[in-house]
Structure formats: structure tokens, C-alpha cells
Amino acid sequence: MRLNQYISASGFCSRREADALILGKRVKINGKLADIGTRVGPNDRVEVDGKRITAKTKHIYIALNKPKGITCTTERHVKGNIIDFINHPERIFPIGRLDKDSEGLILLTSDGNVVNEVLREENHHEKEYRVSVNKAIDDAFIEQMASGVTIFNPVKERHEKTKPCKLIKNSDKEFTITLSQGLNRQIRRMCEALGYQVVSLKRTRIMHIKLGKLRTGEWRYLSEAEVSGLFTNKKRQGR
């Protein structure tokens, strides 16, 4: 980027003020006095009055309404990978996963620091899903799903009971479930353990970020407030 832009991006001063510093012979690149219009590369050392400055990286945070058939992987050789689907010019990666057969809200970012904040289980961050199944839901199903279902955990290589969760019946064959746990294909396996098959599964919320009116296949940048909320360790209800 141009030198004045680089200095401004560091938060040191405005671009106009940076130009004044350069004209005043107060800026050096790699030990040599810089000129107006000089461009700065990733390995260049920039100093103002002998003090080194670095440009702050502006990270990218994206909400995508993932369609079915798209795989949440950065492996570009995988057909239908999420990176090629979005085709963003910057290097980004998904925060967590959403099954290929599922749809709905998935977050992507260039900021590695936010990943643990969102995914760390002890932070109890909620994720909400709308699920339809192949037969009518009864009271026993609601109660068992909400209290926890014993399923096999392939990571730990043993059976374990899922954590209690919230469940709301929407219709005879559809419910909304809110989890603070993120086991692989958890909802599908919970349903299967109770004799049900998932017909469709759509994630509608991650923490305080909602899918809203974002259409299938569309994405948007997160607002500043949404980004700020990703870095809290407090339990959020998102309602």
C-alpha cells in the first residue's frame, strides 16, 4: 500500500498528516528517507522520527446463509468448498462447521483470534436451529431431546449424554432447538437415537448473530456491534 495509507492505518495520524511527515523528512523505509508516493511492502520497516510503526490489520467477519451441498472446508480441491463458493478476495476461513446436508448461518473470518472465543465449549455460546423430521413429534421426544440424549462421540470414542438444551415445538414435524454444545452432526444423531430422521436442518442463530432476512447463498459483513459481541465470554441468550 502507499506509504501515507500505511501510516494512517497504523493509527499514528491521518493521511494528510502522514504526507506532511514525509515531506518533512521524518519518515524512513528500511533506514532510508521516504518520498511521497512510496509504496510499502509486507517486509518493509517503516519509522517515524526513529520509531517503528506497523499498520493494523483490519480483519474480515462474514455471515453466510450456506446452501445445502456446500462443504465447510478450506481445502480447495474439495468440490463445492465454502471458500470457492464465497470467492472473497481475502484469505478467510469458516468458524466451526455446518454439515454439507444442512443450511443456514455460518461465520467466516480472517481473524484467528476469534475462533476459540466462538467455539470454546466452556463459553456456553448458543446456536439455534430449525429442524424438521420424518414423523410427528410427541411429548416424550421433546422431553428426551431437551434433557439430553446418549450418542456416540467419535472424538472421545465413547458414548456420552448430550447437554440439556432448549426445544420448542413449531408444528407436528418441526421444532427449534438451541444448543450450547457442538458435537459433530449432533442434532441428526440425537434424533436418530430416538427413532427419528432429520428431513431438513437450518441454523438460524450463532450467539447474538441472527440469520434474519439473509437469503440462501447470500452473505454480508458483520456490523461493528456484532463483531464486538464475538469477543465476550459471557453467556448470551440472543433473544
- Active-site residue identified among 99, 111, 139, 172: 99
Outline where the chain has alpha helix (H): 3-9, 15-23, 82-86, 113-119, 139-147, 186-193, 224-229
Any residues with CB less than 8 A from the CB of 217 and at least 6 apart, and which? Answer: 65, 67
Beta strand pairing call for 166-171 and 174-179? antiparallel
Residue type, 239: R
Are 187 and 131 contacting, i.e. CB atoms less than 8 angstroms apart? yes
C-alpha cell at 175: 421444532
Active site residue 84: no
Please give the backbone phi and psi of residue 228, each rounded to the nearest 5 degrees, phi first.
Answer: -60, -40
Q: Tell me, what amino acid is at 190? A: M
Kindly give, in sequence order, each residue whose CB lies less than 8 Å from that of residue 81, ignoring residues fewer than 6 positions away. Answer: 70, 71, 73, 74, 75
> In 3D, which of 102, 56, 113, 110 has the Cα closest to residue 86?
110
Query: Is-contact 22 56, C-beta < 8 A?
Result: no
Question: Which candidate, 159, 134, 156, 158, places its Cα nearest to that of 148?
Answer: 159
CA distance 195 to 188: 11
Residues with catalytic annotation? 99
